[in-house]
Chain A
Amino acid sequence: MSSSPADKAADRLRGHPPETLAAYRAYEQTRQPAYLDELVLRILVFLLPEPPEQPVTELPDSTRLREDLGVDSITIAELVFMLEDLFDLTIQNEELVDLATVADLRRFIRQKISESK
């Protein structure tokens, strides 16, 4: 069994593009929110049938999760499942209802992680 959070993250992100684990590690080392944003969006686009053409770090705040990226409710559930595991969070269903854009998602995850510290 994995013990440290870093080991656990490496295990959970097996098979994902290496940039995703790199973003996790960068965030853990620096606590820069930009790395957290990148991590969340990299996990999200990995789950999509047709990832967006532009790099995740360049996705505009106004990008709509459902209409522009093709995110559905089960994809959000999978993203949340991963983030709960990586950061030992608990996220309730009702907290997900209002997530409509990339900006909403960034704001929400940043807030959840700051609350959990």
Chain B
Amino acid sequence: MSSFDWPHRPVITGLGFISSIGNDASAVLEALRTQQSGIAPHTFMPDGQSQIKVAGMVKEFDLSSDTWTLWQIPERFKVRREFLRSLPPHGIYAVCAADQAIADAGLDPADLANDETALFAASAGSPFMMGQHVRLLYETRGRRGNPMGVVNSISGTLNFNLGAYYHIRGANLGFVSACTSSSHAVGHAIDAIRLGRARRVMVVGAEDCNAESVLPFAAMRALSQGGDATASRPWDKRRDGFVATGGAAVLIIESAEAAAERGATPYAELLGWGQSADGYSIAAPEPEGQYLCRAMERAVEDAQIAREDISWLHAHATSTPTGDLAEAKAIRKFFGDTPCPPVVSTKGQSDHGLSMAGAFEVGLCALSMRHGFRPGNANLQEPDPEVESLHLPTAPTATKSRYILKNNCGFGGSNVSLLLGTPVL
């Protein structure tokens, strides 16, 4: 069954971003076109002694206090006051991005309050908030705890809060597969729309980006120890780990007929997707990339398109030594004798947002498709000899995209490939 045979075809009609490279779609678009970096000096520790020197921090917001009453949110964003104390930092970002995405789709928040709208959300929860609650529980010998301690910290916090915030009644569920979490959310949104189980899905990916959420990755030796905006350099010979970021990305995905009824112009059609698992390691990718290759094969089979028609591939490549190599091998294997199209990782600019990465990068692909350009591989100066067979353009380029294949990979060997196509109007 090709994507054109499904009774309902999913399209992306709204985008919202709170990110290191911009707090709305136009700022993100401008940053992509000019290859402006979101990476800046940041140590996560008050004494500045952390071995981590840079991060992709969200600008304008200050949600670093342990007291929500002291949080600073730019005035142009309106977060309902009664939700402030049940939201973690990334939940605040998520509401700000969701409001943008809803408006961008030409909708009103009230349009989500029905039985046909679903919320698919992804985050790692907030270890920052959790840490405060656990500390208080120990201090009071278990006698006292914050009543909001569960709903503003555990994985699922986005679902608890945003489901209530927007009165979503179709379905409300979360995805926890590390750096493929929100990619899985997009994939399952495709299925839900195709099967007629929802007319509209709001997909949310978000992360805090603070000491509690980021520094544990340094303990795994997964973070770059670079000290400037070039620290994230996917595919480069000198890459030494990823640079963390946070924020939120929100996509409004709906059936083509629901969009057409409203006269909404889609950014892109979601033509298909594939997933697979390495069954190999808790964190390292299977080094030959054979299962990521399988996810890509499943995506093109699902979409029923020929791989030579893929305009370019948006890679997961996070700038880790092993991850980029495994993905390069997977891409080579996938294209085989077919000429390999340009391959781009935007993480040199926008860093790695973990659970947020999939939704965020699908959003970047959608922007690129609508505005007729392809981003470049920022900070790629000396390609690793083992990836040289890939076509890795460094500069943003004006080009029309017919199909974009989008990869994400997560701990535990989780792989997702999504296929975006130019919308048929």
Cross-interface CB contact of A74 among B70, B80, B81, B147, cutoff 8 Å: B147
Q: Does B76 contact A (CB under 8 A)?
A: no
Q: Would you call A15 and B67 a contact (CB within 8 A)?
A: yes
- Residue in chain A with minimal CB distance to B86: A74
Cross-interface CB contact of B69 among A14, A78, A85, A90, cutoff 8 Å: A14
Cross-interface CB contact of A81 among B69, B81, B82, B146, cutoff 8 Å: B146
Q: Does A84 contact B (CB under 8 A)?
A: yes
Q: Would you call A48 and B82 a contact (CB within 8 A)?
A: yes
- Residue in chain B with minimal CB distance to A70: B82
Q: Does A18 contact B (CB under 8 A)?
A: no
Cross-interface CB contact of B147 among A14, A48, A77, A85, cutoff 8 Å: A77
Shortest beta-carbon distance from B373 to chain A in Å: 43
Once A14-B67, A14-B69 are accepted as A-B contacts, the answer to whether A78 and B82 lie under 8 Å apart by CB is: no
Bound state CA distance, A16 and B80, in angstroms?
A: 16
Q: Which residues of A contact B146 (CB under 8 A)?
A: 78, 81
Bound state CA distance, A15 and B66, in angstroms?
A: 11
Q: Would you call A16 and B143 a contact (CB within 8 A)?
A: no
Q: Would you call A49 and B81 a contact (CB within 8 A)?
A: yes
Once A14-B70, A49-B80 are accepted as A-B contacts, the answer to whether A78 and B144 lie under 8 Å apart by CB is: no
Q: Would you call A78 and B67 a contact (CB within 8 A)?
A: no
Q: Does B85 contact A (CB under 8 A)?
A: yes
Bound state CA distance, A84 and B140, in angstroms?
A: 11
As a 0/1 sequence over residues 400 to 413 of chain B, the CB contacts with chain A under 8 angstroms (1 = contact) are 00000000000000
Q: Would you call B69 and A16 a contact (CB within 8 A)?
A: yes
Bound state CA distance, A47 and B82, in angstroms?
A: 7
- Residue in chain A with minimal CB distance to B81: A49
Bound state CA distance, A81 and B149, in angstroms?
A: 11
Interface size on B, residues (CB 8 A): 14
Shortest beta-carbon distance from B14 to chain A in Å: 26
A-B pairs with CB below 8 Å: how many? Answer: 28
Q: Would you call B67 and A81 a contact (CB within 8 A)?
A: no
- Residue in chain B with minimal CB distance to A85: B144
Q: Does B6 contact A (CB under 8 A)?
A: no
Shortest beta-carbon distance from B7 to chain A in Å: 41
Q: Which of B69, B70, B80 has the most CB of A within 10 A?
A: B69
Q: Which of B68, B82, B147, B148 has the most CB of A within 10 A?
A: B147
Bound state CA distance, A77 and B144, in angstroms?
A: 11
Shortest beta-carbon distance from A45 to chain B in Å: 12
Q: Which residues of B contact A81 (CB under 8 A)?
A: 144-147
Q: State which residues 123-181 of B face A: CB under 8 Å.
A: 143-148
Secondary structure at the B interface, as helix, strand, loop or mixed, is loop
As a 0/1 sequence over residues 55 to 99 of chain A, the CB contacts with chain B under 8 angstroms (1 = contact) are 000000000000000000010011001001100001000000000
Q: Would you call A78 and B81 a contact (CB within 8 A)?
A: no
Once A48-B82, A49-B82, A78-B85 are accepted as A-B contacts, the answer to whether A84 and B68 lie under 8 Å apart by CB is: no
- Residue in chain B with minimal CB distance to A11: B67
As a 0/1 sequence over residues 57 to 73 of chain B, the CB contacts with chain A under 8 angstroms (1 = contact) are 00000000001111000
Shortest beta-carbon distance from A95 to chain B in Å: 15
Q: Which residues of A contact B144 (CB under 8 A)?
A: 81, 84-85
Q: Which residues of B contact A49 (CB under 8 A)?
A: 80-82
Q: Which residues of B contact A48 (CB under 8 A)?
A: 82
Q: Which residues of B contact A78 (CB under 8 A)?
A: 85, 146-148
Q: Which residues of A contact B81 (CB under 8 A)?
A: 49
Q: Which residues of A contact B147 (CB under 8 A)?
A: 74, 77-78, 81
Shortest beta-carbon distance from B151 to chain A in Å: 9
Once A15-B67, A15-B68, A16-B69 are accepted as A-B contacts, the answer to whether A90 and B80 lie under 8 Å apart by CB is: no
Q: Which residues of B contact A85 (CB under 8 A)?
A: 144
Bound state CA distance, A64 and B148, in angstroms?
A: 24
Bound state CA distance, A27 and B294, in angstroms?
A: 69
- Residue in chain B with minimal CB distance to A89: B144
Q: Would you call A90 and B68 a contact (CB within 8 A)?
A: no
Q: Would you call B70 and A15 a contact (CB within 8 A)?
A: yes
Shortest beta-carbon distance from A21 to chain B in Å: 12
Q: Which residues of A contact B145 (CB under 8 A)?
A: 81
Q: Which residues of B contact A90 (CB under 8 A)?
A: 143
Bound state CA distance, A48 and B81, in angstroms?
A: 8
Bound state CA distance, A15 and B373, in angstroms?
A: 46
Further 15 A-B residue pairs, CB within 8 A, beyond A49-B81, A81-B145, A81-B147: A14-B67, A14-B69, A15-B68, A15-B70, A16-B69, A47-B82, A49-B80, A74-B148, A77-B147, A78-B85, A78-B146, A81-B144, A81-B146, A85-B144, A90-B143
**23 A-B residue pairings within 8 Å (CB atoms):** A14-B69, A14-B70, A15-B67, A15-B68, A15-B69, A16-B69, A47-B82, A47-B85, A49-B80, A49-B81, A49-B82, A74-B147, A77-B147, A78-B85, A78-B146, A78-B147, A78-B148, A81-B144, A81-B146, A81-B147, A84-B144, A85-B144, A90-B143
Q: Identify the B interface with A (CB < 8 A).
A: 67-70, 80-82, 85, 143-148
| Closest CB pairs A-B (n = 6) | A15-B69, A77-B147, A49-B82, A15-B70, A78-B147, A14-B67
